[in-house]
Amino acid sequence: MIITVSGKTIDEAIAKAIDELQTTREQLSYRVLSEPQKGFLGIIGSKPAKIEAQVLPDSVELAQTFLEKTVSLMGQEVTITKNESNQKVSFELSAESDAGRLIGKRGQTLESLEYLTNLVCNQGEQKYKRIELDVGNYRERRRQTLEQLALRVADKVTTLKKSSSLEPMNAQERKIVHETLKSVRGVETRSEGSGMRRHIVVIPV
């Protein structure tokens, strides 16, 4: 809703707009239509300040709208379920068909969607809010797969006493592997490479 408000000064007009819209200064967007003008002897012919104001759209709502439009442009029909806390917002996408297109190879499409949605949500925001996306419980299934893979590789490394390199992974997936093997005796892990080639090496100790 856009309203037009007048006041003796710009600040007074802003205060009136905040009160009428029941919002805060941080959430108010306004445009000055006219500056206050003093008349003859400060009285005759004076004109008040006038502004046009509205409440800024909620950043999470903007992010969800962006996500819905982007997925639609990909030719996908999805239902989005939102779970929000103080520091994090989770969007669960339920696809009517071919959910794999939203996930992509090793989750790359899902990661890209999540990255872009985070940019939209936090653009111009002072307090960062983390956006997480999931499709058909892919994140949990991927976590279990990585944990099982890490343990198999660790067993191989301790048996053969020879280092083994895993496939390139993003930061979140590397963290899962590091955490899984942190308490496993006889091996240690380190990340090598850069960019898309960054991967984990499991080393016998």
What pLDDT score does 82 carry?
94
For CATH 3.30.1370.50, the residue range(s) in the chain are 141-204
What pLDDT score does 109 carry?
93
Question: Residue 79: beta bridge partners?
Answer: 94
What pLDDT score does 13 carry?
93
Q: Which CATH superfamily is domain 141-204 in?
A: R3H-like domain (3.30.1370.50)
What pLDDT score does 95 carry?
84
**What distance in Å separates the CA atoms of residue 97 and residue 76, rounded to the nearest whole number?**
8
Domain 3-55, CATH among 3.40.50.10380, 3.30.30.80, 3.40.50.720, 1.20.1250.20: 3.30.30.80
For CATH 3.30.30.80, the residue range(s) in the chain are 3-55
User: Block means of pLDDT (10 residues each) for the chain, length 205 residues?
Assistant: 92 93 87 84 73 88 93 90 88 87 90 94 81 93 96 97 95 95 96 93 97
Closest CA relative to residue 201, chosen from 182, 172, 171, 178: 178
What pLDDT score does 41 carry?
60
88-95, strands of its sheet edge to edge: 78-84, 88-95, 130-135
> Inter-axis angle of helices 59-73 and 108-122, to 10 degrees?
140
Annotation: CATH topology of 59-136: GMP Synthetase; Chain A, domain 3 (3.30.300)
CA 69 to chain centre: 16
What pLDDT score does 179 carry?
97
For CATH 3.30.300.20, the residue range(s) in the chain are 59-136
CA 66 to chain centre: 11
Question: Residue 80: beta bridge partners?
Answer: 93
**What distance in Å separates the CA atoms of residue 13 and residue 10, rounded to the nearest whole number?**
5
